[in-house]
Structure 1
Amino acid sequence: MKHDNIERNVGILIILTMLAISAGGLVEIVPLFFIKETVEKVDGVHPYSPLELRGRDIYIREGCYLCHSQMIRPFRDEALRYGHYSLAAESKYDHPFQWGSKRTGPDLARVGGKYSNDWHTQHLTAPRSLVPQSVMPNYPWLVKTDLDYSDIQGRMKALRTTGVPYSISQAEYDKNVKEFGADVAKNLHIPDAEKNLLAQAQAGNYDTNPEKLTETDALVAYLQLLGTMVDFRKYDDDYFAKFR
């Protein structure tokens, strides 16, 4: 009877609903104020270089995240197939993150270095030429389309406002050298973004055509980075170590 009275009284129902929501929210939020860091410190994780950043933007633009997640869950079958489970720190510079909720294709969190640049280029152009059972669409235009990097500094500055430590001043650059090392820090310096993008593309030759800078160069550079920043041997526990 009391429950029936509450449901019939809109004012009381609203108040009790708000109290229930508030209690649930406090249980989830309050503990965060007593944790020193909600994202663990993991050596090796760093922001994307200009070329990798453009590749990630193309990855999102083409909807790759709709079929490929980038979050390996801490289950035995996932460890056997993909490797170490995903760490929160691996996504600390992702805006938005690419965890995903559906896998039509395999998880890509550890795809970096698993295949050659040639393989990725061919797979993006004609997936079934390498994986006959694949349902992935063809993306032949990527290797034919010149990479537009005219706004790369603007993209980096936008991410800088979210907390990604891309540098503008010499002091910020020096701080990144101390945090990430000189090789990484130079790629995070916004004034040199275009020069660094071209240098990485030329050195990596990701689309296997050194004469042309294409969207495939950027996308493959991004894919080849995934899962390679962290030495997971340092973070393996006894349970997951036996599956590697």
Structure 2
Amino acid sequence: MAEFFHRKVERNAIGFVLLIIAAASVGGIVEIAPLFTIDETVETVPDMRVYTPLELAGRNIYIREGCYACHSQMIRTLADEVDRYGPYSLAVESQYDRPMQWGSKRTGPDLARIGGKYSDVWHAMHMNNPRDVVPESNMPAYPWLARTQVDASSLSAHLTAQQALGVPYTDEMVADATRDTLGQATPDSDNAYAMAERYGEDTQISAFDGVTTSVTELDALIAYLQVLGQLTDAAYIDTAAPELPSDPAAAGAAVDQAEE
């Protein structure tokens, strides 16, 4: 009876090891090779902006509290996902994210386009007690965020690290990170005007948690959530999505009108 090929190979230890290495190398090449053409495969868009220091602090809090365990930030190309969340995610939208928050594990909804969908007040209430705005929510509350001050003094170091990784922060942005953090959460202040000049007039400046006398972790987290899907309009250009990006100011005005 003819002997099967794999049985012959299994008896030849050296040959078997070489075949294992060859098989593993194929998988490695498939994963690594595209990285050499990353500049060609990842889109470049002229309106892409960097995170402000306050938004970066909020992202750090988001990761620290494990929000990624229940919320992804990746809308896939499936029709039902696009209908529910908006245009599918592009790689360019996460080019300044380290680590990226992509994934498909969703205990809660995807947050890739949450920016501007709800007002700052809604987010503040949601973080203090999610069931105040979503009665069926099983999300835990985070009331301590409103009582904890942001460590603004450490953000220059954070921006320096991001700068070293290729994020285009200027030396001026790094030097003024602490003042820009305070400015984004204190509208009509000198720091706010200076911050807007550095990061652009479209940057949202707001008393995110409703308090202007201090900058809390709740300010930072809301600032981060409000910018998700807002760093660039690339996903809304030349796509089948008929809607426009959400407008945080419009969301706030709608809430105010409803309360009146």
Q: Tell me whether the two structures share a fold, i.e. TM-score over 0.5.
A: yes
Shift of 1:27: 4.2
Q: TM-score, normalised by structure 2?
A: 0.80
CA contact (8 A) 2:128 2:142 kept: yes
SS at structure 2 position matched to 1:142: helix
Tell me what 2:175 maps to.
191
Counterparts in 2 of 1:43 and 1:128: CA distance versus 1, 3 Å: same
In the TM superposition, what whole-angstrom CA distance separates every residue of 1:99-147 from its partner, at most 9, and x where no partner exists? 1331000000000000000000000000011111111001000011111
| 8 Å CA contact retained: 1:66, 1:100 | no
Query: 2:122: which partner in 1?
Result: 119
- Residue segments in structure 1 that go unaligned for 5+ positions in a row: 174-188
Structure 1 stretch displaced more, 105-114 or 13-22: 13-22
RMSD, matched Cα? 1.9
Shift in Å at residue 63 of structure 1? 0.5
Which amino acid is the alignment partner of residue 39 of structure 1?
V
TM-score by length of 1: 0.85
Q: Structure 2: which 5+ residue stretches go unaligned?
A: 188-205, 246-260
- Cα deviation for residue 235 of structure 1 reads 3.3
> What is the rounded CA distance, in whole Å, between the counterparts of 1:102 and 1:143 in structure 2?
28
Which residue in the other structure is 2:217 paired with? 215
Structure 1 distance, partners of 2:219, 2:34, is 44
CA distance in 1 between counterparts of 2:177 and 2:74 reads 29
The match for 2:184 is 200
Q: What residue number does 1:182 align with?
A: none
Structure 1's consecutive aligned runs of 4 or more residues displaced over 6 angstroms after TM superposition are: none
Q: What residue in structure 2 maps to residue 100 of structure 1?
A: 103
Residue in 2 that maps onto 1:128: 131
* Equivalent residue, structure 1, for 2:74: 71
In the comparison of the two structures, how many residue pairs are matched?
222
Change in Cα spacing, 1:12 to 1:70, as seen in structure 2 (3 Å) is: same
Q: Indicate conservation of the 8 Å contact 2:75/2:81, yes or no.
A: yes
Deviation for aligned residue 1:93: 0.4
Indicate if the aligned counterparts of 1:52 and 1:218 stay in contact, CA closer than 8 A: yes
Give the percent of matched residue pairs that are identical in Structure 1 and Structure 2: 52
Cα gap change, 1:10 to 1:40, in 2 (>3 Å) = same
Residue 101 of structure 2: SS of its match in structure 1?
Answer: coil
Per-residue deviation, residues 68-121 of structure 1 (Å, max 9, x unmatched)? 000000010001100000000011000111113310000000000000000000
Aligned to 1:42: 45
